[in-house]
Structure 1
Amino acid sequence: MEAAGVSELDKKVIRALQGEFPLVAEPYKVLAEGIGISEDLFLERVKALEEDKKIRKMGAVLRHREVGFKANVLAAWVVPQEELDTIAQEMARHPAVTHCYDRTTAPGWPYNLYTMIHGHSREECEAIASELGEAAGVTESIMLYSKHEWKKTSMKYFCE
Structure 2
Amino acid sequence: MQAQDRRLIRLRACLEQGLPLVPEPFKVLAEQTGLSVEEVRTWIGHWQHSGFIKRFGLVVRHRRLGLAANAMVVWNLPDDRVDEVGRRLAAEPEVTLCYQRVRRLGWPYNLFCMIHGVRRVRVEAQIRALIQRHGLEDVDHQVLFSRQAYRQRGGRYTPEEP
- TM-score range normalised by the length of the shorter chain: 0.7 to 0.9
Task: Find the aligned partners of 2:104 and 2:56 in 1 and give their Cα distance.
Answer: 31
**Structure 1 unaligned spans of 5+:** 1-6
Helix, strand or coil at the partner of 1:37: coil
What is aligned with 2:62? 64
Residues matched between the structures, number: 154
Distance 1:20 1:111, change over 3 A: closer
Which of 14, 17, 27 in structure 1 is aligned with 2:15? 17
Distance 1:50 1:147, change over 3 A: closer
Q: Deviations over 1:39-74 (max 9, x none)?
A: 222122223334445435432221111112121111
Task: Find the aligned partners of 1:151 and 1:132 in 2 and give their Cα distance.
Answer: 29
Which amino acid letter does the alignment assign opposite residue 119 of structure 1?
A: G
**Corresponding position: 1:142 with 2:139:** no
What is aligned with 1:4? none
What is aligned with 2:154? 154
Distance 1:20 1:28, change over 3 A: same
Q: TM-score, normalised by structure 2?
A: 0.78
Which of 64, 75, 95 in structure 2 is aligned with 1:77? 75
Which amino acid letter does the alignment assign opposite residue 136 of structure 1?
A: H
What is aligned with 1:129? 127
Q: Report how far residue 19 of structure 1 moved.
A: 1.4
**Structure 2 unaligned spans of 5+:** none
TM alignment of 1:44-123, pairs within 5 A: 44-103=42-101, 104=103, 107=106, 109-123=107-121
Q: Report how far residue 30 of structure 1 moved.
A: 1.3
Q: Deviations over 1:85-107 (max 9, x none)?
A: 10011111223323322330554
Distance 1:69 1:31, change over 3 A: same
Helix, strand or coil at the partner of 2:115: strand
User: Identity over aligned residues, as a percent?
Assistant: 33
Helix, strand or coil at the partner of 2:123: helix
Task: Find the aligned partners of 1:113 and 1:95 in 2 and give their Cα distance.
Answer: 17
Distance 1:42 1:70, change over 3 A: same
Helix, strand or coil at the partner of 1:142: strand
Contact 2:7 2:34 (C-alpha < 8 Å) held by counterparts: no
Which amino acid letter does the alignment assign opposite residue 68 of structure 2?
A: K
Q: TM-score, normalised by structure 1?
A: 0.78
